Amino acid sequence: MSNVQQHTRIVVTGTGMVGPLGCGVDEVWRRLLAGRSGIRTLPAHITEGTGVTVGGQVPTFEEDALAGYQPEQVILPKERKKMDRFIEFALIAAHEALEQAGWHPTSETEQV
């Protein structure tokens, strides 16, 4: 028996971004280079009783038409009902990364 382990090479060919400066690597990068911050005063209904007044929050499309959060473009409404918001963020970033990579899986095996 050989103790040699096989290693699978992994290559990053795409990136995705969802954060307080918006969604999309290119626009978020432009905003970072311009010195913009995603930190802002948070709505009272979110901060009530916490003592917190500022923080980073992913902007909605209504707040930011250029780089706002639009989960319905990537995730079916019935699927969104079953998942937490942070999973939506991950799926949107992964979708962008796959688009950049030019990889469009067609079978269930390729999607894993």
pLDDT value for 47: 93
Residues in the chain: 112
Range of the domain at 24: 18-99
Task: Give CA 42 to chain center in angstroms.
Answer: 20
Q: Is 40 inside a domain boundary?
A: yes
Q: Considering the domain boundaries, does residue 49 fall inside one?
A: yes
pTM of the entire predicted model: 0.80
Other beta carbons less than 10 A from residue 17's beta carbon: 19
The verdict on residue 2 lying in a domain is no
Q: Could you tell me if residue 55 is inside a domain?
A: yes
Kindly report the average pLDDT of the chain as a whole number: 91
Q: Give the pLDDT of residue 64.
A: 96
Residues 2-52 pLDDT 10s:
566 778 887 778 999 999 999 999 999 999 999 999 999 999 999 999 999
Number of helices followed by number of strands (H, E) in the chain: 5, 4
8 A C-beta contact, residue 88 and residue 70? no
- Examine residue 11 and state whether it is found in any structural domain, yes or no: no
pLDDT of 108 reads 80
In a domain, 12, yes or no: no
> How crowded is residue 67: how many other Cβ atoms within 10 Å of its Cβ?
22
Number of structural domains (the chain) is: 1
Residue 108 lies in a domain: no
β partners of residue 39: 56
- The helix/strand/coil state of 55 is strand
Assess if residue 3 is contained within a domain.
Answer: no
